[in-house]
Amino acid sequence: MKPFKRRRKGGIAAEFEPNEALLLSNLAAQMIELLRDRNGSQESSADPLAQMVGMSGPIMPPEDPVLNRLLPDAYRDDPDNAAEFRRYTEQMLTSQKVTNAQALIDALIEGGLSEAEHSRARIEVELNDGAAIAWMKTLTDIRLALGIRLGIETEADMELLEQEAEEYERQTLDIYEWLGFVQETLVEAASR
């Protein structure tokens, strides 16, 4: 990967190897699938007025620990208010997360991802400020998901995992750390 840099004419650009772009695209697609699975089922009781105005989302927090981290309760000490808040906001939040992840995939495709699958060409991504924010949010979501799956909650967890990881955990940890690098270069370029 050639790190993100701000261009003089505007925009933020980076280059990815085809396998890196495919990995990013795949992880974003998995995030979309996970969020759409959650957004598709109705877990709340039918409220005719809420359904008419499109506010009838789930009231129960997700059972999947990853979704629970991505869609946390707004009121941890008040289950009734948390359920009501979730009901009116979760579908909008998941839709925005899906839109952000799709923006990441679209930027990779615009940069040549589909052609790169059959060649050795690098994928050049150029982002405006809005797309950069969508990328930052999606990279955060993906890293949160991987962190939950790896059991990383603190820096000590990370250090322990680095020392004692099984092979499959090591590979996932390498991806987690690489995504952190991608995100760091994007944040640095966006802040200039």
Q: How far is CA 119 from CA 2, 29, 104, 122, 150, in A?
A: 18, 22, 21, 9, 33
Residue 155 burial (CB count, 10 A):
8
Q: In this model, does residue 106 exceed pLDDT 90?
A: yes
Residue 32 burial (CB count, 10 A):
20
Q: Which amino acid is at 64?
A: D
pLDDT, residue 2, reads: 97
- Average predicted confidence (pLDDT) for the chain: 89
pLDDT, residue 47, reads: 53
Summarised one tens digit per residue, pLDDT across range 118-174 is 667 899 999 999 999 999 999 999 999 999 999 999 989 988 998 988 888 999 999
| Helix, strand, coil percentages for the chain (3-state, nearest 5) | 65, 10, 25
pLDDT, residue 43, reads: 39
Number of separate domains in the chain: 1
Residues 187 and 26: their CA atoms lie apart, in Å, by 22
Residue 61 DSSP class: P
* Residue 109 belongs to domain spanning: 2-190
Residues 82 and 92: their CA atoms lie apart, in Å, by 15
| DSSP codes, 63-103 | SSHHHHHHS--S-TT-HHHHHHHHHHHHHHHHHHHHHHHHH
pTM: 0.87
Give the pLDDT band (50/70/90) at residue 97: very high
